[in-house]
Amino acid sequence: MKKKAMYACILLILLIITVACSNNQNINRSSESKGNVELIISAAVSLKDSLDEIQRSYKEEHPEVTLKFNFGASGSLQQQITNGAPVDLFFSAAKDKFDILVEEGIIAKEDGLDLLGNELVLVVPEVSNAIKSFEALTNAEVGQISIGTPETVPAGKYSKESLKKMDIWNVIEPKVVYAKDVRQVLSYVESGNVDAGIVYKTDALLSDKAKIVAAADQSTHTPIIYPVGIIKNSAQYDAAKKFYEYVQSEDAIKVFEKYGFIIR
């Protein structure tokens, strides 16, 4: 009798384990069938407002997909991805940073494209009337000027190139205050902590505390190109490709144009 009872207990335990495993598999299948995924997208901070809007419209069409954005300077984001950060797509504000990942084999050439362009502008506090051109930055009464750190911030690299081409870099370099990204440059200008800053036109258009006083001639700097691509080893490659295709759609393009980007 004791042996029969022991066998019955063992059979009952095995039955419970089998049912539990079956339920767990069903839950997993249900989750898979719904296609619930999270995409991590590293993107240049200058894209934040446009991508926030695109995120909302994409969620309406694809409720099963959660888009998680990591905004920052393109150079810093590229270094994070090179060092193994878990990312599904990269949206850069600099072609050279993007190309590094292609050369490293992290992004397949066929999984990337040059999607957007931008312009470089000189901004000053809304209440200021002292500076009306890039050349005016050399005036002795002009104080500090902010640009992004050229080594990691594409807008800073373009700014330095442009100022050198205008032959005013050597004069204003002692006045330059470096920032971690274009949004920080803009905040320095808005707060009056600097007399002027150089940012993308798309960022300047968002501010009501800073105004554009001049635009850099595009021949004075490297072309401003925003490439986007899928990370080759993405665990959510198919879902990443769908979003990659979506940012090229007519609806997404309208959003980018609304925020002042140039469509390439």
Q: Are 247 and 261 in contact (CB under 8 A)?
A: no
- Is residue 9 scored above 50 in pLDDT? no
**What pLDDT is attached to residue 30?**
36
The residue that leads in pLDDT, 198 or 28, is: 198
> What are the φ and ψ backbone dihedral angles of 150, each rounded to 5 degrees?
-55, -30
The residue that leads in pLDDT, 11 or 139, is: 139
Here the tokens at position 6 are 């022991």
User: What is the C-alpha separation between 207 and 28, in angstroms, rounded?
Assistant: 47
User: What is the C-alpha separation between 137 and 57, in angstroms, rounded?
Assistant: 42
pTM of the model: 0.81
Mean pLDDT, the chain, as a whole number?
A: 90
- Is residue 169 scored above 90 in pLDDT? yes
The mean per-residue pLDDT over the stretch 47-72 comes to 96
The conformation of residue 139, written as its DSSP 8-state character, comes to S
| Sign for the pseudo-dihedral over CA of 154, 224, 177, 166 | positive
Q: Are 131 and 124 in contact (CB under 8 A)?
A: yes
The conformation of residue 151, written as its DSSP 8-state character, comes to T
Here the tokens at position 83 are 């060092």
Residues 6+ apart with CB under 8 A from 67: 39, 41, 55, 58, 59, 243
- Is residue 70 scored above 50 in pLDDT? yes
pLDDT tens figures, 89-130: 999 999 999 999 999 999 999 999 999 999 999 999 999 998
pLDDT tens figures, 174-219: 999 999 999 999 999 999 999 999 999 999 999 999 999 999 999 9
DSSP tally for the chain: helices H, then strands E = 10, 11
Sorted by where each starts, the structural domains of the chain and their CATH numbers stand as: 36-117+225-263 (3.40.190.10), 120-220 (3.40.190.10)
**What pLDDT is attached to residue 225?**
97
- Collapse the DSSP code of 177 into the 3-class scheme (helix H, G, I; strand E, B; otherwise coil) and give the result: strand
Q: pLDDT > 70: what percent of the chain?
A: 87
pLDDT tens figures, 130-151: 899 999 999 999 999 999 999 9
